Chains A and B, each alone.
Chain A
């Protein structure tokens, strides 16, 4: 009789898992479903065994099948538990590695700040406080942070070359682009300052992010209100 209760309780727990969805991670959900289904199957086996014990002539074959099923289910449970442990360990290690990588990347904004200071010092036309303040309303803080923290993988040399040529060779782009490092004026100032900036860039492997400036202020405001601006990435 109690074996039927066990099956009902297992079913109730499976329903709870389905409706309440208590786990955040996929592996947590999967592990819990796995455990509960194995428990349910084991209890179903015991239910069948107890049921056939009530018969006058119980079948040996059914008993053997059910007993073997319990053995295999137990093996599956142990193997699954070991597998989930390994997944957990792997996840922990990979999270630690990711955290270490992120920690490394956190040094990027500091480098950017240093580069900016260097650029500002080097450029005779670096933007004043007023220019920066004007810029602030349409560069919100999150966007700036995303620019500075954006991490780029190497291997896009084709794009890099395209961007470099677009940035430095077209008159339109020199008006239409604004860098995160406030170097647009220095680009316009001529080849010497360009060389100087490139030299400074070469000192730091940090990617320079360039944002496309909208055509006029109204459009810009609309874009700020409606969607994020496009970013073009300049690798240097």
Chain B
């Protein structure tokens, strides 16, 4: 079963790249400035819980970001993406458990097929969210680090979460590269080994199935794409030398 196409995550990535041009400190026409205000970078938006807002004693985020409703704590900024990834992953896990149950009871009816499709869909959704948020993690981490007072549980939790998600993002990039590398070595071992590998990595097919498998680099387009993404600093303000961005950059 195919878990979808890489076109979906790439669409999400490119949309984000274009939308993030608003963080460039450019003087644009009024039409574009209005549109910048209305652009929604999250696929599905979730309101930040009031409890979290009450605990926010962080310093003010620069006006350049604040005008696009960006807060200071990592958890507040990352909340909608976090919820989306959580929904995708929990649905995927629930579907896998149901599948196991069906296999145990040797049921192969329409419900089994539906659960398989739902598992693939939810995994794809979670992957799209994860792919698209890698640069955000770095960006929000920098804002958090520069505005965090480190005086409460929430402030520490926010920073720890930021670091954990940064590690998770790096692991995802590494895992993509590792999966493709493994695929290449299995390809040399023969068809049977490759088939077994594909069967085992059914849900990770997204990372390598669409691509030309002639060599490691042509197959791992996601890898340069991932690398390009944080390298490009799509949230360019990290490199901005404007007065606002200096608040963020500071000693960096």
Known: A20-B218, A24-B211, A28-B210. A50 touches B26 (CB 8 A): yes
Say whether B210 contacts A23, CB under 8 Å.
yes
* Bound Cα distance from A5 to B232, whole angstroms: 7
Q: How far is the CB of B241 from chain A (nearest CB, A)?
A: 8
B105 on the interface (CB 8 Å rule)? no
Say whether B11 contacts A63, CB under 8 Å.
no
Partner of B28, one of A2, A31, A67, A81: A67
A124 on the interface (CB 8 Å rule)? no
Say whether A74 contacts B18, CB under 8 Å.
yes
* Bound Cα distance from A32 to B217, whole angstroms: 16
B51 on the interface (CB 8 Å rule)? no
* Bound Cα distance from A1 to B26, whole angstroms: 12
Q: A20: which B residues are within 8 A, CB to CB?
A: 212, 215, 217-218, 221
Q: A12: which B residues are within 8 A, CB to CB?
A: 228
Q: A3: which B residues are within 8 A, CB to CB?
A: 24, 236
Say whether B27 contacts A28, CB under 8 Å.
no
Within 8 A of B (CB), among A25-78: 25, 27-28, 31-32, 35-36, 38-39, 42-43, 46, 49-50, 53, 58, 63-64, 66-68, 70-71, 73-74, 77-78
Partner of A39, one of B17, B210, B231: B17
Say whether A28 contacts B5, CB under 8 Å.
yes
Say whether B24 contacts A32, CB under 8 Å.
no
Q: How large is the interface on A (under 10, 10 to 19, 20 to 34, 35 or more residues)?
A: 35 or more
Within 8 A of B (CB), among A154-199: none
Of the stretches B29-37, B162-170, B190-198, the one at the interface is B29-37
Say whether A53 contacts B26, CB under 8 Å.
yes
Known: A13-B228, A49-B26. A28 touches B15 (CB 8 A): no
Q: A2: which B residues are within 8 A, CB to CB?
A: 24, 233, 236, 239-240
A114 on the interface (CB 8 Å rule)? no
A84 on the interface (CB 8 Å rule)? yes
Say whether A67 contacts B21, CB under 8 Å.
no
Q: A77: which B residues are within 8 A, CB to CB?
A: 14-15, 18
B219 on the interface (CB 8 Å rule)? yes
* Bound Cα distance from A82 to B215, whole angstroms: 31
B52 on the interface (CB 8 Å rule)? no
Q: Quick one: closest A residue to B5, CB to CB?
A: A88
Q: How far is the CB of A94 from chain B (nearest CB, A)?
A: 14
Say whether A35 contacts B14, CB under 8 Å.
yes
Q: Quick one: closest A residue to B17, CB to CB?
A: A39
Q: Quick one: closest A residue to B35, CB to CB?
A: A71
Q: How large is the interface on B (under 10, 10 to 19, 20 to 34, 35 or more residues)?
A: 35 or more
Q: Quick one: closest B residue to A25, CB to CB?
A: B210
Q: Quick one: closest A residue to B13, CB to CB?
A: A35
* Bound Cα distance from A50 to B27, whole angstroms: 8
Say whether B26 contacts A71, CB under 8 Å.
no
B contacts with A: majority SS: helix
Say whether B8 contacts A67, CB under 8 Å.
no
A90 on the interface (CB 8 Å rule)? no
Say whether A23 contacts B212, CB under 8 Å.
yes
* Bound Cα distance from A20 to B7, whole angstroms: 18
Q: How far is the CB of A182 from chain B (nearest CB, A)?
A: 33
Q: B215: which A residues are within 8 A, CB to CB?
A: 20
Known: A32-B10, A39-B14. A49 touches B27 (CB 8 A): yes
* Bound Cα distance from A31 to B224, whole angstroms: 17
Q: A71: which B residues are within 8 A, CB to CB?
A: 31-32, 35
A16 on the interface (CB 8 Å rule)? yes
Q: Nearest 7 CB-CB pairs, A to B?
A: A67-B29, A67-B32, A81-B11, A20-B218, A22-B221, A35-B14, A22-B218
Given A22-B219, A28-B5, A46-B21, 9 new contacts (CB under 8 A): A3-B236, A9-B231, A13-B228, A28-B6, A35-B10, A35-B11, A38-B14, A77-B14, A88-B7
> 26 pairs across A/B with beta carbons < 8 Å?
A2-B24, A2-B240, A3-B24, A9-B228, A20-B218, A22-B212, A22-B221, A23-B210, A23-B212, A24-B212, A28-B5, A31-B10, A39-B17, A49-B26, A53-B27, A63-B29, A66-B28, A67-B29, A68-B31, A70-B18, A70-B21, A71-B35, A74-B18, A81-B11, A85-B11, A88-B8
